[in-house]
Chains A and B, each alone.
Chain A
Amino acid sequence: MKRTTATAIGAVLAASMILGGCGGSNDGDGQTASSAPSASGGSGKAITLQFWGGVPPESGPQEAVDNWNKLHPDIQVQYTRFVNDDAGNLKLETALLSNQDAPDVFMSYSDFNVTKRVEAGMIEPLDDLIAQVGFDVDGIIGVDNIKKFPDGHYYYLPANRNIGATLINKTALEAAGEQVPEAWTWDQFAALAKKLTTGDMKGTAMDAALNNYGEHLLAEEKPLDSYIKDDGTSNFDSPALKQGLELQKDLESSGAQLSRAEAVANKLTNQDALLTGKAAMVVSQIYMLRYIKDTTNYPHDFQIVFAPVPQLTEGGNVNIGGGMGDFMSINKNSPNKDAAIQFMDWYLKEGNMAMVPGGRIPTNKQADQAKIAEMLIGDAGDLIDQASLQAALSGDYVFPTSYNVPAPTELHQVYTEEMEKYLLGAQSIDAATAALKKRGDETIASAKK
């Protein structure tokens, strides 16, 4: 009984601390966001905009917000970080529903997160606001890079252009006598991974929470809504997915990659695997630069070279992990929409340059690319192979998107479960793909009900 009482008291204390924390972080010397009408007038009390994002403040957002606040004493922005996981997204959504200190501007980090928020009516359509500040969507971001929702409106503007790449430990690559691949398939990737496996160093590694080959190959086969076929049924019976599953099993059983089950239990991350020498290469994204430069937490002396993401078929150019990200939206219930769009206008044109050292590339097509490369590398020139990074940055890619998949969270769960059973030997590949297709179709059907 003692234990339960203690737990209850703990829960109450924790709850009150959370509440206290919210109050504290938002109080801003009593300048609460109640003076909505003065947004464009610029007279009277300063407006406080609440801006929520998933990036830790010290990795760029705080600097961006500070830069804005210096220029605009009448519109002060406060940054709040939410962790981009189940609990963090729930926290953001709960905050969006609340009446007090709700976020005015916020980020969504995946196609399906932004889609479900649009469908639930949490987001303000941006077209009128964009016209009001004269933001040149096509000139700055490009209309092809933004999803127009079925009602014909924009609901977000992307602030970050992700690029997927294979990051390779150059020392290990040279020791194996291999060249940096410039265009390659997954078969060549698997061959190199096996060749790079020596002693304690595996050929490759994978953050089990982020990646798996089945979904990668599926998205390369069908970059648009890879989970579903054109007729709306599950695409889980695709040969590409099967090939990806077999690739993963092959890499695990040949010892070129730590098994998925162990990676989950050990909470292996890409940066941990690559930079502490547990693996010679990882298929990941440009954001890894943030960790490559962080020699305090990841002391290492080898250079990292960048190769493209391996392809399903020769000559493909689908960029797994890449694409538009950091979807900026305005809360439908925000009283400060005019101020919010002004902030977004600035952030998308110049503010997000503060995010570059943290490994996030602005979507602004007019931004100075040479300067971006320079900022990305910072003072870590000896740890980064610059020519191959440039090549990765300037590549011409097809980015996968999936806005039209019903119940993506549930489908991903189905996929993960059947994949685990296959990888741990609890079912054959044919049983896995059959179960995937069947359960995938059932999940889609029950989502449409």
Chain B
Amino acid sequence: MKRWRNSRVREQAAGYLFILPNFAGYVVFVLTPILFSLYLVFVDWEYLKGFAGIRWVGLDNFRELGNDPKFLHSLKNNVVFTAISVPASMIIGLLLAVLLNKYVYMRNTLRTIIFLPYMASLAAVSVIWSIMYNASSGPINAFLKSIGIAHPPGWLSSPQSALYAIIIMSVWMTIGYTMIIYLAGLQGISKDLYEAADIDGASKLRQLLQITVPMLSPTTFLILITQLIWSFQVFAPVAIMTQGGPIDSTMVLSYHIYLEAFRFYKMGYAAAMSWVLFAIIFVVTIVQWQGQRRWQNHF
């Protein structure tokens, strides 16, 4: 009996040893900063004085949220960004997946081409797109002018179009991801269903809407959740392409947090906002999980 327990303990110890390097990294670089940021939520930190500059303020940081028009404005931009970019990327990704699944020649090459942007560095992509968006000498506006549009949008330099310019780039980047996941989902749908529908005389469109889309609903949920989390955290394109401008038209929460922390040194307030951002993403995700369970019970 004792021997058995010993070996079990040793086995467990070995297991812990194996995960130790990874776990230590996690504790030092992820867990500790997260817990520390949770503490910062309740303090006002005069950063230049080091740890001595920390002062407990309770919930003041959250009260300040209500007085910060930029917080609400950023939140609104986040919602617009997500509400457009996520569905757009999913619909285009689904259509491409269906097409590439059977109807096209050279589909491997095309798949690679569409997936490529997703693998590219976000920073590099942002720089290249900001060159393309250049209002006076960029290729996009040069093309628009050549087909007869006299006053093409100012893209990144106009408060009306800057957010949409970033949305377009972001959709272009993420359709590769949604397409690949949908392609995998399509492999799981039995051909019998389509054969039966063909015999019944259903059109291709009807097959798409009534077989493919419902059968893909678990895949759709997976993509929805990952894309939603990702899109709520949008930061790099804003930081690189517009710095939140013009006139805050592309100011999103994560960039607002960044500025408050690293330009204005309001660490406590920035930490409070980042936990609000976390709470929003968390709640949306929970709602989706619940919704998914209910939806899938239909089938």
Using CB atoms and an 8 Å cutoff, list the residues of chain A in contact with chain B: 1-4, 8, 11-12, 15-16, 86-87, 90, 93, 97, 116-117, 119-122, 258-259, 261-262, 264-267, 409-410, 413, 417, 420-421, 424, 426
- B117 near A: Cβ within 8 Å? no
A264 touches B245 (CB 8 A): yes
B residues in contact with A86, CB < 8 Å: 259, 262-263
A265-B242, A421-B247 given; A4·B30 CB < 8 A: no
What is the distance, in angstroms, from A369's C-beta to the closest C-beta of chain B? 38
B292 at the interface (CB under 8 A from A): no
CA distance A421 to B46 in the complex (A): 31
Whether the Cβ atoms of B264 and A410 lie closer than 8 Å is yes
Interface string of B151-167 (1 = CB under 8 A from A): 00011111100000000
* Minimum CB distance partner of A200 in chain B: B137
| Bound Cα distance A48, B81 (Å) | 51
Please give the residue numbers on chain B whose beta carbons come within 8 Å of chain A beta carbons, in ascending order.
25-26, 29-30, 46-50, 53, 130, 133-136, 154-159, 177, 225-226, 229-230, 241-243, 245-248, 259, 262-265
Taking A15-B29, A265-B241, A421-B247 as contacts, is the C-beta distance between A4 and B50 under 8 angstroms?
no
| Across-interface contacts of B230 in A (CB, < 8 A) | 3-4
Cα of A291 to Cα of B95 in the assembled complex, Å: 51
* Chain B minimum-CB-distance residue to A3: B230
User: Which A-B residue pairs are the 3 nearest by beta carbons?
Assistant: A120-B48, A265-B156, A261-B157
| CB pairs A–B below 8 angstroms (30 shown) | A1-B225, A1-B226, A3-B177, A3-B229, A3-B230, A11-B30, A12-B25, A12-B29, A12-B30, A86-B262, A97-B48, A120-B48, A120-B53, A261-B154, A261-B158, A261-B159, A262-B134, A262-B135, A264-B157, A264-B243, A265-B157, A265-B242, A266-B134, A413-B264, A417-B248, A420-B246, A421-B247, A424-B158, A424-B159, A426-B159
Bound CA span A409–B266, Å: 12
Q: Can you add 15 more A-B contacts, CB < 8 Å, to A3-B230, A116-B48, A120-B53?
A: A1-B225, A3-B177, A4-B229, A8-B30, A86-B262, A86-B263, A259-B157, A261-B157, A265-B134, A267-B130, A417-B247, A420-B245, A421-B247, A426-B159, A426-B247
**Does B49 contact A121, Cβ atoms closer than 8 Å?**
yes
**Residues of B contacting A12 with CB < 8 Å?**
25-26, 29-30
Most buried by B among A12, A262, A417, A420: A262
Rounded to whole angstroms, the CA-CA distance of A261 and B155 in the bound complex is 10
Residue of B nearest to A416 (CB): B245
Interface centre among B156, B157, B159, B248 (most CB of A within 10 A): B157
The CA of A117 and the CA of B46, in the complex, are separated in Å by 11
* Chain A residue contacts of B135, Cβ below 8 A: 262, 265
Which residue of B48, B156, B157 contacts A93 across the interface (Cβ within 8 Å)? Answer: B48
Which chain B positions have C-beta within 8 A of A424? 158-159, 246-247
CA distance A2 to B243 in the complex (A): 27
Residue of A nearest to B133 (CB): A265
Complex Cα distance A119/B226, Å?
A: 46
Cα-based distance from A266 to B133 in the complex (angstroms): 9
> Given A409-B264, A424-B159, are A97 and B134 also a contact pair (CB < 8 Å)?
no
